[in-house]
Amino acid sequence: MARPRLTALSKLLLIVLWLTTSASVASAERVPESYRLVGAGRLSVLFWDIYNIQLWAPDGQYRPDQPFALELQYLRSVDRETIAETSVEEIQQQANLELDVLADWQIQLIQIFPDIQKGDRLIGLYAPQMPSQFFLNGASIGVIDDANLSRHFFDIWLSEETSKPQLRLQLLGMKSP
């Protein structure tokens, strides 16, 4: 009689152990624990709030040549084509790049990013000369292997040439001029 109960208890313990291990893996797919918030803001277009965004970096200090993370909490649904097209348009405004390069990058972004639903949380982890990793609601959705695309993608928000300079200042933890 004690044997089946022990087996059930063993199964329960294995499930708890698995859930605990899974939680540890999931937390590795979030902003690294050693990172601290640098700054935060909200992207609004006309009267629509699109997402809240936060910049995280080691010791809370953003350095363009060091690892960092951007976390976006979506306030409305956005389809993958719009994400890719808007990203490439922003990159094109900041950098004089060949149209075939931009078209290739747009295809890569469509392949990485899914349609986003209101409430989704997207995290992009950047490390110089390493593939950038992307997570949606804690699950890996893809990487950008191209160092140039990766840098230009994050520069959408962080470059001095951004189309949203006030948002950039908020992300960098600076006050508006």
Spell out the per-residue pLDDT of the chain, length 177, in tens: 444 444 443 333 333 333 333 333 333 357 999 999 999 999 998 889 999 999 999 999 999 999 999 999 999 999 999 999 999 999 999 998 999 999 999 999 999 999 999 999 999 999 998 999 999 999 999 999 999 999 999 999 999 999 999 999 999 999 755
d(CA 29, CA 157): 22
Q: Which residues make Cβ contacts (< 8 Å) with residue 79, sequence separation at least 6?
A: 115, 116
The answer to whether the CB of 74 falls within 8 A of the CB of 122 is yes
Domain ranges of the chain: 1-30, 32-171
Q: Helices (H) and strands (E) in the chain — how many of each?
A: 5, 6
pTM of the model: 0.80
- With vertex at residue 60, the alpha carbon angle to CA 89 and CA 64, rounded to the nearest 5 degrees, is 40
Instruction: 15-24: list long-range contacts, CB under 8 Å, 24+ apart.
Output: none
In whole angstroms, what is the distance from residue 93 CA to residue 152 CA? 11
In this prediction, residue 176 carries a pLDDT of 59
CATH code, residues 32-171? 3.50.70.10
Burial readout 43-61 (b: 16 or more C-beta within 10 A, e: otherwise): beeeeeebbebbbbbbeee
